[in-house]
Structure 1
Amino acid sequence: MDRYQAMTTFVRVVETGSFSAAARQLHVGQPAVSKIVAQLESRLQVSLLIRSTHGLTPTEAGQAFYERARNALLEADEAELAARGAGSGLSGRLRVSAATTFARLHIIPRLPAFLDAHPQLDVDILLDDRMIDLVAEGVDISLRMGALADSSAVARKLATGKRSVLATPAYLARAGMPLVPADLADHTAIVYSQLPNVWSFHRDGSAVSVSVAGRLRVSAAEGLRAAILADMGLTITSDWMFAPELESGAVTRLLPAWSLPDIDLWAVFPTGRMMTAKARQFADFVQGLME
C-alpha cells in the first residue's frame, strides 16, 4: 500500500465527510477510496472512521491520524518545493473559489502569467458568488469581498476597493441626476440581494442613510451588471465590478462628494489547515494584480 496515497485519501475523506466526495476530488471511483481506507485500517489494526446514516466521522484514533497525516502531507509539499527551488515553480493542483464577475474581470484574463510561471501546476477555479464550504469543496484559497462572516477564518487582506453609486448615461438622461443621497429614494435601484437595501453615505463627518427600492432584485453580480448596462436603474457596488465601463465612460459615478464604506478583498484559507505554498503564492499573485 502506498502510504502517501493512503494518507492523502484518508485526509480527503475526513475533510469532505464521505467516500463519494473524496473520490470526486481525487478523480477516482468510490470503491477505490473505500478500499484504500479499509487497507489503512487493516495495516494500523485500528478503526479510523465511524460509519453511520449521518455520514463519516473519525474515531479518536482516526482524528489523531488525520491531524498528523494532514500536517505530514503539507510538510511534504513544502519540502518538495524547497528541494526543487523557488525558481522551478509549483506543481500539482490548486483549487480556487472566487466571485464570478470579479474573477472574470480581474483574475482569469491575467492568469496566463501565473500559469506560465508554474507550468507543472493545474488550477481549478470555482466561480460562485455565494460563500461555500472550503473544506467540503476541497478549496485551497477563496477570494472573498466584504466583511468576513466567520471571525475564526484564516484570512489575509489583499486589497481595499472603493464603492460607488453607478448608472448609465442613458438611465440618467431619463430619470435625472441625483444631487444628494436623499434623491436616491426617488430612483429605481437594482437591488443586490446579498447586501442590505439601506445605503449609508458619509461627508465631512456626517452620515446619511437612504432606503432604496426597485422592482428587480438579483442574487449575483453578473445579473447586477446586466441590469445596469441595460439602463434599468442605479446601484451601489464596488468599482471593481464595473472597472471597464468606468474607464470607458459606459457608466457614471454619482454623488462624488459623498463617500461609502470601502470594500476589502480577502484571501481566505480553510480553517484547520496549514496554508500551502501554492495558496500563498496565488495570494501574492492576486495582491500584485490589485496594487
Structure 2
Amino acid sequence: MDRFHEFLVFRRTVETSNVTRAAELLHVSQPAVSRTLANLEARLGVALLRRGKRGITVTEAGQALYGQIVGLLDGLDEMETGVSARRGQLSGSIRLTSSPIIFNELVVPLLARFSESHPEVAVECLLGSENYDLPAANIDLAVRGGRPGGQELVARKIGVAPIALYASDAYLARQGVPQALEELEGHRLVGSLFERDRGFWQLESETREGVALSLPVTVHHRADDLLGSMALMQAGQGIGLAPKYGAAKQGLRRVLPEWRAEGPPIFVVWPATRHMPARVRALADLLIAELPRLVRG
C-alpha cells in the first residue's frame, strides 16, 4: 500500500471525523477507506482511531501521527506550489469554511473569478454554523460573521452588512404593506439569528441619527440560518430581518425602509501560526479586496 495514500486517508478521516465524508472527499469507496485505515494501524502496530456510535475519536498515538502527517504532506504541497509558482501558475488545495449565507451570496462569485485565474487550485468548502478551531481542523481560511476568538488567528474586518426588514411580494399583496412599526403587531413575523435577545428586534433609524429602539416581537417561524429564514420569507411566511446583500437576490421586498438593524461584522480569518502558501494568500487577497463591495449590497 502506498504510504502517501495511507497518510492522506488518515488525515482526511481525522479532519472530518467521519469515514463516509473522508471517502467522498477522496473519491473512493467507504470500504476502501476503512481497509486503508486498518492496514495503517496493522503496519504501525498501534490503534490510531476509536470507532463509536458518536463517530470517530483520535487516540493519543493518532494525534501524534496526525501532526507529523500534516507537516509532511503540507511540506510536499509547498514544494509543488513553489515549482508551480516559479512557472507562474499556482496549484494545490485550500480548505475554507464559511456560513451558508455568506458562502452562497458573497464567496461563490469570487471563487468563480479565482478559479478562472488559478484553475489548478482546488477549494474544499466546509459550510455550517460551527466555528472551527482553524489550526486544529487544518483550515486555511474562514469567512464569517462575528468577531473571531483566539490569539492564534489573523482577522481582517471586511465590514458590517446592512440589515433591514423584508417580505415577499406575495405576502405583502395578501396581508398589506405596513406603514409604521406599530403595524408589525398585526403581521406574521419570521425570526432569525439577528435577534440578539429573543423577543426583541434592535432597530435604528436610517434618517434620524441616534434614534434607536428595542422592538418587542412575537415570531411565528424561526430559523437559525439566514438562508432558512429568507426561504421562509420568500415562501410568504412573513416579515423578517435579512442582509441587503442576500435579500435582493432572493426576490424579497424591503418594508419600513426608514428602519435598519446592525448586522455582525464580517471577517476573513486565517491561522497566525501557519505559513500561508501563495495560493492561500492569493485567495485571501481577493476576498479582502472585493468582499467590502459585495457586503454593502
TM-score computed with the length of structure 2 as normaliser: 0.70
For the structure 1 residues 42 and 105, does the alpha-carbon distance in structure 2 shift closer, same or farther, using more than 3 Å as the test? Answer: closer
Unaligned runs of 5+ in 2: 293-297
The reply to whether residue 192 of structure 1 matches residue 192 of structure 2 is yes
2:295 equivalent in structure 1: none
How far apart are the structure 2 equivalents of 1:242 and 1:68? Answer: 45
Q: CA deviation at 1:57?
A: 4.2
1:2 equivalent in structure 2: 2
- Equivalence map 1:1-291=2 (5 Å): 1-41=1-41, 45-51=44-50, 53=52, 56-85=56-85, 88-125=88-125, 130-131=129-130, 141-146=141-146, 154=153, 156-160=155-159, 161-167=161-167, 171=172, 174-178=176-180, 184-192=184-192, 195=195, 196-202=198-204, 204-205=209-210, 207-229=212-234, 233-244=238-249, 251-252=253-254, 254-256=256-258, 260-267=261-268, 277-291=278-292
Q: CA deviation at 1:210?
A: 1.0
Moved more, 150-159 or 199-208: 150-159
Native 8 Å contact 2:164 2:254 kept in 1: no
Q: Which amino acid aligns with 1:85?
A: A
Q: Which amino acid aligns with 1:201?
A: L
Structural RMSD (CA) = 4.2
User: Alignment length, in residue pairs?
Assistant: 282
TM-score computed with the length of structure 1 as normaliser: 0.71
Q: CA deviation at 1:197?
A: 4.1
Q: CA deviation at 1:177?
A: 1.4
For the structure 1 residues 124 and 18, does the alpha-carbon distance in structure 2 shift closer, same or farther, using more than 3 Å as the test? Answer: closer
For the residue of structure 1 that corresponds to 2:218, the secondary structure is coil
Moved more, 168-177 or 11-20: 168-177
For the residue of structure 2 that corresponds to 1:241, the secondary structure is helix
How far apart are the structure 2 equivalents of 1:105 and 1:57? Answer: 34
How far apart are the structure 1 equivalents of 2:274 and 2:19? Answer: 20
Q: CA deviation at 1:165?
A: 2.6
How high is the sequence identity, in percent, across the aligned residues?
Answer: 27
Unaligned runs of 5+ in 1: none
For the residue of structure 1 that corresponds to 2:283, the secondary structure is helix
Moved more, 166-175 or 190-199: 166-175
How far apart are the structure 1 equivalents of 2:224 and 2:238? Answer: 16
Native 8 Å contact 2:230 2:242 kept in 1: no
Native 8 Å contact 2:94 2:121 kept in 1: yes
How far apart are the structure 1 equivalents of 2:168 and 2:41? Answer: 63
Moved more, 262-271 or 4-13: 262-271
For the structure 1 residues 191 and 118, does the alpha-carbon distance in structure 2 shift closer, same or farther, using more than 3 Å as the test? Answer: same
For the residue of structure 1 that corresponds to 2:75, the secondary structure is helix
Q: Deviations over 1:81-106 (max 9, x none)?
A: 12221773333444544444444433
For the structure 1 residues 187 and 122, does the alpha-carbon distance in structure 2 shift closer, same or farther, using more than 3 Å as the test? Answer: same
